Structure 1
Amino acid sequence: MIEILANSALNTIQDRGRPRAMTLGVARGGAMDILALACGNMMLGNEPDAAGIEIAFFPFRLRFLDDRAFAVTGARGPVRLDGIDLPPDWAMIARAGQTLQCDAPTTGCRTYLTIAGGIDVPLVLGARATDLKGGFGGLEGRALQKGDRLPCGVPATPGVPPHGYGLAVRCPMPDADATRVRVLPAAEYDDFTAEARHAFFQTAWRLTPSANRMGYRLEGTPLAQQRPLNLFSHGIVPGTVQVPPAGQPIVQMADANTCGGYPKIATIIESDLRLLAQTRVNGSIRFVETTRTDAVAALRAEARDQARRADAFADLRRMLMPA
């Protein structure tokens, strides 16, 4: 079990979310950076979708109430166990009574804490992810608060080596100059003017402060349509780039509604959506056109990399754990 000692608003319990529930009108939800969560879990021998804590507001501090292996992945910034600095993307064992503190990151903006055995809250619609909009999942459907005590599951493996270990190849973070994300043209792409389509790819879009788990508003060259469109609400998914009448795009994120009526100019591919999730407010974003073949290839390459990482950590645990 762990106890929250210091927390800011909207840090939540997340797993991979509820993609199958989208047909019921329920947001997919889950970790904004699924790869970072999965890497933390595989370092601990958890299932990739075990529930952890998504930390987007800092400082965050907790106390371990029993001996427990943990990992911290995602955004890179100061992380300390009883005041001792830990390397980025690191897993190790905490002893009962020790405290862990995560301060504001210097690269990226979302940090993930995973625990051996996972955070053991009830399954709701097949997942433990917190849906703040619906008020369910996670811990009572809400953000974490100071004083919360979170139960942890039974670890599937003996743990991690006494001195810990980290990722040999870290999860990619956004570039310092601009976050580049690959997109596929969406249904209404051709309904925008040629100038708007050109500007969409040539503009360095600014991520405005209107950015949360539901959606990111961008600011740049207004995108005009060839003629006004009146669309019925229709299905959308995380990664959909909609353009309201003012011409400034909105990117749907993990907690997006499952339907909407604004014209869609593009869809960010699944493998790159996590990069946008790790982009800071006022950061620069550029869209790069890709193909469906390349989007599928990126997903398959990511799956292969995760499988290799999981196997490598399993081998390390067998080699390094005390007899």
Structure 2
Amino acid sequence: MIEILESGPFNTVQDLGRPGYRDIGVSASGAMDPLAARIGNILVGNDENAAAIEVQTFPFRLSFERRMAFAVTGADSNPHLDGSELLSWCAHVAEAGQVLELRQPLRLSRSYVSLGGGLDIPVVMGSRSTSLRGGFGGNAGRPLAKGDRLAVGEDLEIAMLPAPGLAIIEPATALRDVFPAPVDGVLPIRALPAGEHDLFARDGEEFWSQTWRISSRSDRTGYCLSGEPITPTTSIEMRSHGVVPGVIQVPPGGEPIVQMSDANTAGGYPKVAGVIECDLWRLGQARIGARLKFYRSTHAEARAVEQAVGRYVEDVRQTSRMVKLALKAMA
């Protein structure tokens, strides 16, 4: 078990989501930074889809009620165990009674706490993710709060962790050739033209050319973008249609909305573009007020990025396995 000692609003239990139920109005939910969640689980020996804690309001503290492996990935939240600073993107072992604290990140917005054995909570519609809008899944469908106690599954690999921990290079560094760094504080996000793209003036140039800012009206459902409004060249009526995370819709006010992890299942606003799937984790780590610019991508580029991320994840998986097997052989 673990006990939550301190938590702000919106910190929830998430895995990689519950796809397959959008036809009955159930969004997938899941981690806003699925890459960080996957890597954390690999480091502690879990299945990649194991439930972890998504922390987006800090400080956050929990105590361990038994010896347990854990990893903190995602934002640079300066993790401390009983007051001693720890490496992020690294598997560690905590003893019973020790306290893990995550502090306000210097950059990025969400950290993930993965626990050896995974959070042992009920599966709802194939997932342990919290649906805040639906009020189900995760921790009884609500954010974590002080005093909550969560069960953790059996950890079969804790004995194979090296004493100093098992660390990897975070994706932003390891994949810097794949994920361009922000330029003058502006985050580049790749997207593909979507269904109604051609309805916007000059081939949607007003959308692609300007810098957008994530407004305070944003949440896990969608990021509302502030900037110079864009509108279709002609008035159109559209029936509601299915939408998924990454779809960028343009409501009548002309300021786009990027659908995120808790994306609506349907909507009738015209779609100007769609963020490539492998760039969604970067958006998930962007803070309110962050500036970003969209760059027109291609299906070939999106596929190449997906393959590069796949190689990185596989390299982490193989490195983790080899280290643990070596330690087991030495035991």
Please state which band the TM-score falls in when normalised by the shorter chain.
over 0.9
Q: By how many angstroms is 1:171 displaced?
A: 4.1
Give the TM-score normalised by the residue count of structure 2: 0.94
Which residue matches 2:14? Answer: 14
The amino acid across from 1:68 in the alignment is: M
**Residue correspondences, number:** 322
Whether 2:209 is the aligned partner of 1:208: answer: no
SS at match of 1:218: strand
Q: Does the 8 Å CA contact 2:129/2:138 hold for their aligned counterparts?
A: yes
Q: Output the CA distance in 2 between the equivalents of 1:178 and 1:230.
A: 34
Which residue matches 2:30? Answer: 30
SS at match of 1:128: coil
Q: Does the 8 Å CA contact 2:71/2:88 hold for their aligned counterparts?
A: no
Q: Output the CA distance in 2 between the equivalents of 1:22 and 1:164.
A: 40
The amino acid across from 1:178 in the alignment is: V
Q: Does the 8 Å CA contact 1:74/1:171 hold for their aligned counterparts?
A: no
Map of 1:73-222 to 2, 5 A cutoff? 73-159=73-159, 160-171=161-172, 175=182, 177-194=185-202, 197-222=204-229
For residues 156 and 24 of structure 1, do their structure 2 counterparts lie closer, same or farther at Cα, with a shift above 3 Å needed?
farther
Q: Does the 8 Å CA contact 1:131/1:137 hold for their aligned counterparts?
A: yes
The amino acid across from 2:102 in the alignment is: C
Which residue matches 1:53? Answer: 53
Q: Does the 8 Å CA contact 1:46/1:156 hold for their aligned counterparts?
A: no
Which residue matches 1:270? Answer: 277
The amino acid across from 2:169 in the alignment is: A
The amino acid across from 1:242 in the alignment is: Q
Q: Does the 8 Å CA contact 2:217/2:224 hold for their aligned counterparts?
A: yes
1:46-70 deviations in whole A, cap 9, x for unaligned? 1001000000000000000000000
Residue ranges of structure 2 left out of the alignment (5+ in a row): 174-178
Q: Output the CA distance in 2 between the equivalents of 1:284 and 1:165.
A: 34
Q: Does the 8 Å CA contact 2:212/2:291 hold for their aligned counterparts?
A: yes
SS at match of 2:118: coil
Q: Does the 8 Å CA contact 1:135/1:142 hold for their aligned counterparts?
A: yes
Q: Output the CA distance in 2 between the equivalents of 1:48 and 1:72.
A: 14
1:206-236 deviations in whole A, cap 9, x for unaligned? 1111111001010112112110121111100
Q: Does the 8 Å CA contact 1:206/1:219 hold for their aligned counterparts?
A: yes
The amino acid across from 2:310 in the alignment is: A
SS at match of 1:288: strand
Q: Choose which of 301, 305, 309 in structure 1 pairs with 2:308.
A: 301
Q: Output the CA distance in 1 between the equivalents of 2:77 and 2:315.
A: 26
SS at match of 1:133: coil
SS at match of 2:43: helix
Q: Which moved more, 1:313-322 or 1:100-109?
A: 313-322
Q: Output the CA distance in 2 between the equivalents of 1:247 and 1:320.
A: 58
Q: By how many angstroms is 1:21 displaced?
A: 2.0
Q: By how many angstroms is 1:295 displaced?
A: 1.2
Q: By how many angstroms is 1:158 displaced?
A: 3.4
Which residue matches 2:325? Answer: 318
For residues 117 and 297 of structure 1, do their structure 2 counterparts lie closer, same or farther at Cα, with a shift above 3 Å needed?
same
Q: Output the CA distance in 2 between the equivalents of 1:224 and 1:27.
A: 27
1:185-223 deviations in whole A, cap 9, x for unaligned? 00000011117x112111110111111100101011211
- Give the RMSD, CA atoms, in angstroms: 1.5
Q: By how many angstroms is 1:165 displaced?
A: 2.2
Give the TM-score normalised by the residue count of structure 1: 0.96
1:105-158 deviations in whole A, cap 9, x for unaligned? 012100000000001101000010000111111011111110000000112423
Q: Give the fraction of aligned pairs with identical amino acids, expressed as a percent.
A: 42
Q: Output the CA distance in 2 between the equivalents of 1:260 and 1:156.
A: 44
Q: Which moved more, 1:220-229 or 1:67-76?
A: 220-229
Q: Which moved more, 1:85-94 or 1:254-263?
A: 85-94
Q: By how many angstroms is 1:297 displaced?
A: 2.4
